[in-house]
Structure 1
Amino acid sequence: MSTTRLLLLGVVRIFQPAYGYQLRRELLTWNVQHWANINPGSIYTGLRTLAKHGYLQELEGGSGDRPGRTSYKLTADGETEYFSLLRQSLWNVDGFHPDRMQASLSFMWSLRRDEVLAALEARIVQLEQLQKAEPFEERQVLGDPGTPNHVVEMFRITNARNRGELDWTRAFRDRVADGAYSFAGEPADWEPPPGMITHWGEIPSPPPTD
């Protein structure tokens, strides 16, 4: 649920105010139905649920718009929840839920560069620790008479992903440290096609954390 919530809040934050069908269409271009296991039909339900919990504000169409069309924008609580979920996903490694890091990659530009670098350093430490624990996890599984031996492959495939992510994270950290990409408060490094979105000239800074 945290990945879905982050994706919905994040995409609303980019396009707000935006209609449900716009948000659904945008998320489907990100292929979230595959890597985040989001049912396309549940996007509308998710938006209404976030509004019910006070994270989104529903804006009814005015006289110059089609009646009954609802658009969404983040509330103050939604903004806080967005950054909380983004930081949780970025700072914490979860080998069984790679979709969380995938989602944070979609929005980490809304954090400052120094925080992204600190989070990547923290992920490297966590992944290195997981790598050290690998042989002991295998030994525990193989030594447990109540666990079928093939179960160890579940740990091995997760560990293989973690090792691959460790290599990528080190390289990504170096690219960010060398100035790659744009982050909060910096001029954008990407120019959208005309008529797409208009706010990328300067990426806004996140709210203070204290």
Structure 2
Amino acid sequence: MSTTRLLLLGVVRIFQPAYGYQLRRELLTWNVQVWANINPGSIYSGLRTLAKHGYLAEIQTTESDDRPGRTSYKLTAEGESEYFILLREALWNVAPFRPDRMQAALSFLWSLKRDEVIAGLESRTMQLEQLDKQQRFAERGVLEDAAIPDHVVEMLRISSARDLGELQWTREFLQRVRDGEYSFAGEPRKWQPPADLVTHWGSDQVPPEWQPDN
């Protein structure tokens, strides 16, 4: 799952049709260059790649005397489908060494229905609990293997500490969602953007139905 792809599709979906410069500027306000390790210069090439693969439609504007022609982007039907595939994959699957995936999903969970977000967070809670159960056996395996330097166990422990931190947050976030905080697809928006901001926040977009395998 590409965090970059999800971020690009998601931000286009919010602002479409939008110019590359506008999308780049917006993503940089999210500090994606820090937590998602996205090179700001690669945003333009990422948009072109998504268009090449049919996920984005390029809309050319006519050059005028005072402004050169520009390319704006909007999602195609394939891009809309791919967006939800990536978003759901990030929500439903814990990736211990890729915290950026859930970080990206948090930017777009509002486009799913509340019951699906709750179910996904419940699944994440169980996955993180299982990782915690496995931890002591993984440590024991390292400590009992004479061929492995003893300091390697600390690599397991730092990863486990991150997982436990995420587990605590997931439980708390899940409870907030159950209690009715935030707004999701099909619900009245609790937050509205400034009037001069062109977004899709004001429309009630309902995601396609989907059932997880597990």
1:187–1:202: 8 Å Cα contact kept in structure 2?
A: no
- Please list every run of 5 or more consecutive structure 1 residues that lacks an aligned counterpart in the other structure: none
1:198 deviates by: 4.5
1:191 deviates by: 2.1
Write the letter of the residue equivalent to 1:55: Y
Task: State the match for 1:5 in structure 2.
Answer: 5
Task: State the match for 2:18 in structure 1.
Answer: 18
1:183–1:203: 8 Å Cα contact kept in structure 2?
A: no
Task: State the match for 1:82 in structure 2.
Answer: 83
Task: State the match for 1:151 in structure 2.
Answer: 152
> Counterpart of 2:108 in 1: which secondary structure?
helix
Q: How does 1:45-56 map to 2 (within 5 A)?
A: 45-56=45-56
Task: State the match for 1:110 in structure 2.
Answer: 111
TM normalised by structure 2 equals 0.93
Whole-Å Cα distance in 1 between the matches of residues 177 and 16 of structure 2? 28
Write the letter of the residue equivalent to 2:130: Q
Whole-Å Cα distance in 1 between the matches of residues 87 and 151 of structure 2? 35
2:128–2:167: 8 Å Cα contact kept in structure 1?
A: yes
Q: How does 1:194-205 map to 2 (within 5 A)?
A: 194-205=195-206
Whole-Å Cα distance in 1 between the matches of residues 200 and 90 of structure 2? 25
- Please list every run of 5 or more consecutive structure 2 residues that lacks an aligned counterpart in the other structure: none
> Counterpart of 2:206 in 1: which secondary structure?
coil
Task: State the match for 1:93 in structure 2.
Answer: 94
Whole-Å Cα distance in 2 between the matches of residues 14 and 137 of structure 1? 43
1:56–1:75: 8 Å Cα contact kept in structure 2?
A: yes
Whole-Å Cα distance in 2 between the matches of residues 177 and 21 of structure 1? 38
The alignment status of 1:160 with 2:161, answered yes or no, reads yes
Task: State the match for 2:170 in structure 1.
Answer: 169
> Counterpart of 2:57 in 1: which secondary structure?
strand
1:63 deviates by: 5.8
| Relative contact order higher in (CA < 8 Å, ≥ 6 apart) | 2
Q: How does 1:30-49 map to 2 (within 5 A)?
A: 30-49=30-49
Whole-Å Cα distance in 1 between the matches of residues 106 and 204 of structure 2? 15
- Which deviates further from its counterpart, 193-202 or 90-99? 193-202
1:192 deviates by: 1.6
- Identical aligned pairs, as a percentage? 71
Whole-Å Cα distance in 2 between the matches of residues 68 and 201 of structure 1? 29
1:185–1:202: 8 Å Cα contact kept in structure 2?
A: no
Aligned positions, number: 210
> Counterpart of 1:88 in 2: which secondary structure?
helix
1:200 deviates by: 2.3
Whole-Å Cα distance in 2 between the matches of residues 50 and 200 of structure 1? 23
1:202 deviates by: 4.2
Residues 145-192 of structure 1, C-alpha deviation per residue, up to 9 Å, x if partnerless?
A: 222222211111111011111111111111101100000011111122
Write the letter of the residue equivalent to 1:39: N
Whole-Å Cα distance in 2 between the matches of residues 183 and 21 of structure 1? 28
Whole-Å Cα distance in 2 between the matches of residues 135 and 189 of structure 1? 43
Write the letter of the residue equivalent to 1:23: L
Following TM superposition, where does structure 1 have runs of at least 4 consecutive aligned residues deviating by more than 6 angstroms?
none
The alignment status of 1:70 with 2:85, answered yes or no, reads no
RMSD: 1.6
